[in-house]
Amino acid sequence: MHFEPYPFEKLTQLLEGITPNSAYSPIALTIGEPQFETPAFIQKSICKHSEELRRYPKTAGEAYLNDSMRGFVERRFGVKLKADELVSSFGTREVLFNFPQYYLFDKKEAVMAYTNPFYQIYEGAAIATRARVIHLNLTEANGFKPVVNEAELSECDLVILNFPNNPTASVLSLEELGEWVKLALKHDFCLINDECYSEIYTDQKVPSLLEASVYVGNTSFKNVLVINSISKRSSAPGLRSGFIA
């Protein structure tokens, strides 16, 4: 398998030999990590519980952690999840790479669709599964929102959205996300929303695909998954703590 270099590696090569304008302070884009300090209460909690580092974490996730994550979903999005509707994960990058491999393993000539521009791990998952890719292009002409082509979606096994979107900052409304849930049910594809930027907003909270699923009556969350983590919202990517629900 051949995986493309990460965009930041390509960017470093493009900038090689270029001297930045000394009149400005550079903004570090490096590997896309937050530029704020990890909150003090998180750092103190790690120190307080550092003796637990001698133990292996449970494969199913610690009960208190899973409970806390479901509590976040309920407080933030008004969605009460059952215990078996959320699994804690080692961040979300690994989930985005591994889950498609599990899900598409037995599917012949698998087809994946994902928003473009994209987090390169989506492409990596497609390569690892030998899936044919359909790009949901986000352009100025379409308001940086994916245009629905039902003929193509009817061929899909797995669709990955990323809203709030990086890098366009586009957001889908509750109603728009609800339409995607309906499409996932109609064409029977698995729909994932990568929601790691859900807590980065200005004046209005952004909705979750879980909310949208309930909104359109899909209360069992059939064909619907979301992922989220504390990497961006809590400036703690090094903790590698996320979930798929």
Q: Is residue 14 part of a domain?
A: no
Whether residue 53 contacts residue 45, with contact meaning beta carbons closer than 8 Å, is answered with no
Q: Is residue 106 part of a domain?
A: yes
What residues contact 235, with CB distance under 8 A and at least 6 apart? 34, 36, 37, 38, 39
Q: Is residue 6 part of a domain?
A: no
Instruction: Please tell me what DSSP assigns to residue 146.
Output: P
pLDDT value at 182 more than 70: yes
Q: What is the pTM of this model?
A: 0.90
Helix (H), strand (E) counts: the chain? 9, 7
Q: Is residue 24 part of a domain?
A: no
Q: Is residue 18 part of a domain?
A: no
Q: Is residue 25 part of a domain?
A: no
Domain housing 214? 40-244
CATH number at 179 reads 3.40.640.10
Mean of the pLDDT values across residues 171-180?
98
Q: Is residue 104 part of a domain?
A: yes
pLDDT in tens, 91-120: 899 999 999 999 999 999 999 999 999 988
Q: Is residue 5 part of a domain?
A: no
Quote the number of domains for the chain.
Answer: 1
pLDDT in tens, 12-44: 888 888 888 999 987 776 667 888 899 999 999
